[in-house]
Amino acid sequence: MGKSKDLSASMEDYIEAIAALRKEKGVVRVRDISHRLNVKNPSVTFALHTLSKDGLVIHERYGYVDLTPEGEMIAQEVQKRHDTLFTFLTKILNIDPEIADVDACKIEHSISLETLERIIKFIEFVETCPKRERPDWLKSFDHYFKTGRRLRCDKQLKEKARVLK
């Protein structure tokens, strides 16, 4: 799940936008991409030309835009990175979803495969907590974030009680 074809963040954004627009509208036009990414039509046309040369999109002048099978695979990869980061930021770190979405978009283009895999495993670890609720140690982190003060850990209290005996 690393960066495919060494695409720039910008090119990955175009591929991701095409996939999202196709899902929403069924067909994708240059102006749709332009609006989605807040760029001018000539910029979209230039990017599509580059992506077309790389075999990632199909685009005929003044026609619809679509992804090739390889482009679709890259779109899914980028979306999976985004979704993983969004989940980590919102469910683990309790970051506001709007902020998390923007940050995930920024991070998804530069995160290493090793770090992403570690985050995926961390999310799995937390989500398979036996109680199926937020673990106490994450609740302690939430408290620390809000107040700047650590809660006393059960382990510390048990150790202190053992020493006092």
3-state secondary structure of 155: helix
pLDDT in tens, 55-113: 999 998 888 999 999 999 999 999 999 999 999 999 999 999 999 999 999 999 999 99
Q: What single string gives the DSSP state of each residue in 30-41?
A: HHHHHHHHT--H
Lowest mean pLDDT among 29-33, 46-50, 51-55, 122-126: 122-126
- Joined together, the tokens standing for residue 161 give 């009680």
Q: What is the CATH number of domain 4-74?
A: 1.10.10.10
Instruction: Give the domain ranges of the chain.
Output: 4-74, 77-135, 136-165
Q: Is pLDDT larger for residue 130 or for residue 149?
A: 149
Nearest to 106 by CA among 25, 5, 12, 21: 12
Distance CA 134, CA 143 (A): 13
- Joined together, the tokens standing for residue 103 give 């940050």
Mean pLDDT calculated for residue range 112-130: 91
Assign domain 77-135 one CATH number from 1.25.40, 3.40.50, 2.60.40, 1.10.60.
Answer: 1.10.60
